[in-house]
Chain A
Amino acid sequence: MPLGFELVELTADERALQQEVREFLARELPRGSFEPGLGMDNPSDRGFSKRLAERGWVGMAIPKRYGGHERGAVYRFIVVEELLRWGAPIHHHWTADRQSAQVILKFGTEEQKQRFIPAICAGELGFSIGLSEPDAGSDLAAIKTRAVKVDGGWQVNGTKVWTTGAHETDWFIMLCRTSDAEDRHDGLSQLLVDLHSPGVQINAIPFLDGGHHFNEVVLTDVFVPDDLLVGEEGRGWLQTGSELSFERGGPDRLLSPWLLVEEFLREHEGTPLGERATATLGWAVARFWGIRQLSIAVNRMIDQGRAPAAESALVKDMATRFEQDVIEAVRQLVEVSPSLESGSLFERLLARSVLAGPSYTIRGGTTEVLVGVVSKGLR
């Protein structure tokens, strides 16, 4: 097998950390005291993000000189898997912590690092992702948002879509065209854009369940100063590529339906489950266990300084297809008509996951795009 996944053995410190996060959650966010989210689909709670930051659980893979904790991707994996499986409200700092801070750290100027990263690590600044456009989804190089050079900066016009959380976050890192080149992958650049800037209009794109996650971000003559260009002008495509390993290889691609399984078991505790339900539960638990090992291995590769683009795409594709299979398997174990209004948490989670499930294999790179990325790595 040309791709190298190595089993990660947790150290005693890492196991102690796991225990610490579990105890923190049981104490600070006891079950029953909040409506849990499904993996990374959970509410934004600036106060909770700040409390996590105070524990050192935001910016864990960031150097100390920028307010981080220099603990690496595996350490971060251990903390966030516990938060995700608990359904904790981590949405506010999620994207900033997972990838925006990493992009700034890798490509940003010293001034940008000083300005943004400590605030991200403090759980204060929330980020969204400014990639997709109405005519550029999987074919990202087709983006049309354009930044034109003006005195002291850039004037930006264009529209971004499917921008999760933009109505609640503070900034996004936006990919736009800064020049026309023969190869359309050239001439793209990344800009840091304050979502409260004049000319930025954020319109809700209601999700199919009526919820507000997606937005359309319309940029009309938005001025972005020179010092907010991230990395090199014209190198935005390559920079975006490296960002995706962080976006794809994590436990958030596996744990979306975790609570559905856990709540199924909780609702049936004390009643015999029968052979079919037992086998289904075993099937799900075995796969959560196995895919988790692959996901944590991707994070070890990141810590080793490798760029596991193919490995993270391989895991993301397998994990998200499994997530959808879990929802269907659990749904068939119970005789209920799922409803968002149900009095049972399990049934509410079932309803939400049935409605949200199709997005798992779309967001963060569609299955079809991922197959291409993995194939390149297998050659």
Chain B
Amino acid sequence: MTTTTTTADELLVDTARKVFIETCTFEVVEAAERDGWAASVWEAVAGVGLPWVGVPEAVGGVGGTLADALAVLRLAGQHSAPIPLAETGLLAGWLLASAGLPVGQGPATVVPGSARDSLSLGGGRLTGTAFGVPWASAVERIVLLVEDGGRWKVGSIAAVDAEVERSLNLAGEPRDTITLDGVPVELAPTDVDAAAFERRGALTRVVLMAGALDAMSRLTLDYTAGREQFGRPVARFQLVQEHLVHCAQDAALVGIAADAASRAAVLGDASFEIAAAKALASRAATTATRAAHQAHGAMGMTREYALHHLSRRLWAWRSEFGDEHRWNNEVGTAAIAAGADELYPLVANGSDRRTRT
């Protein structure tokens, strides 16, 4: 990728916003959870090419920048879009492009990798089990990063070749178990390693969470402005206002952290920014949902009201691609490596502090 545009294309973002508003209604998000797939959302989103934004045209993407792709993903998080958007382009598409492998037409996913996974490669075939594979039951292609003969390779398999056992995360999004029995795999070397892949995954969750927190803050403000008790809107009570402010603070903090991490990722080394942003986002998922639920009272605990579309996603995403403890450790390790004299420059200038000054 040669482009380093740090701001997203406005026309594209407007188009994406319209598509998500039209398709991701409360009923559709509910039905997707029940059915395991939302064909109407996928078709509308894929129809305008959104899953492949940021994937080079040369490998079958639609072009555009990483900044574009992340801006679209943020809207998907805002609208609880029940589709593998992060997985298809930003993860699978990115891995495939890094290895020069073709990106297919349909939805795709990646194997996130867990300590329990037992996949092994032999003779160009994959055997074993992998857990927590997003939307494996609904995609056409499953992409993974494998070590082969001491170097990293991207592998791509047809999803129909995998035995899929459905499983759900807290938000009811498919996080399936796949079992492979000598499945043929297309392999090509890549410069992506396991750490870079995990960071990329964490970046997608940060951006989704920034969108969800923003939506949750607005929803909570609207609800408390309309709900009356003791003869006045509950938003007038100081103790309720404290919840509203805390929720808005978390949304603002994760929003700007997602902006900073996205920008750093576009420019190059974003290891510090992504680690810090995921640590903040995962923590905010706890504190902001607590505040939002408290401000909503019993209504927020019901299936019929939309808060749970956001809060359950935040609880699920805070653990995916590393929770706050894992990323706090990463940031702490970077801080120790920087040392006391370089600690503030790390905070003020980030990953690239030496080359950028």
Contact = CB atoms under 8 A, between A and B. Distances in A.
Interface of A: 1-3, 5-7, 9, 15-16, 18-19, 22, 81-82, 85, 258, 261-263, 265-266, 269, 273, 275, 277-283, 285-294, 297, 314, 317-318, 368, 370-372, 374-375, 378-379
Interface string B248-285: 11011111110110010000000011011101100100
A265 B336 contact: yes
Contacts of A22: 345
B328 interface: yes
Contact of A18 (B253, B333, B350, B357): B357
B332 A285 contact: yes
Contacts of B343: 261-262, 265, 285
Contacts of A318: 249, 253
Interface residues of B, number: 56
Interface string B329-343: 111111110011001
Interface of B is mostly: helix
A275 B329 CA distance: 7
5 contacts: A286-B275, A289-B350, A297-B256, A314-B252, A371-B241
Contacts of B251: 1
B332 A1 contact: no
B218 interface: yes
B344 interface: yes
Nearest to B256: A293
B325 A279 contact: yes
B347 A292 contact: yes
A258 B252 contact: no
B70 interface: no
A339 B58 CA distance: 65
A293 B260 contact: yes
Given A282-B329, A372-B241, A5 B255 contact: yes
A281 B332 contact: yes
Nearest to A12: B356
A9 B6 contact: yes
Contacts of B255: 1, 5
Contacts of B273: 289
Given A15-B357, A290-B256, A297-B256, A262 B344 contact: yes
Given A281-B331, A283-B283, 10 more contacts: A263-B340, A269-B339, A275-B329, A281-B335, A282-B333, A289-B272, A290-B257, A314-B245, A314-B252, A378-B248
B194 interface: no
B346 A278 contact: no
Contact of A280 (B248, B332, B348, B349): B332
B347 A368 contact: no
Contacts of A372: 238, 241
A290 B280 CA distance: 8
B256 A5 contact: yes
B52 interface: no
B217 interface: yes
Contacts of A15: 349, 356-357
Contacts of A85: 344
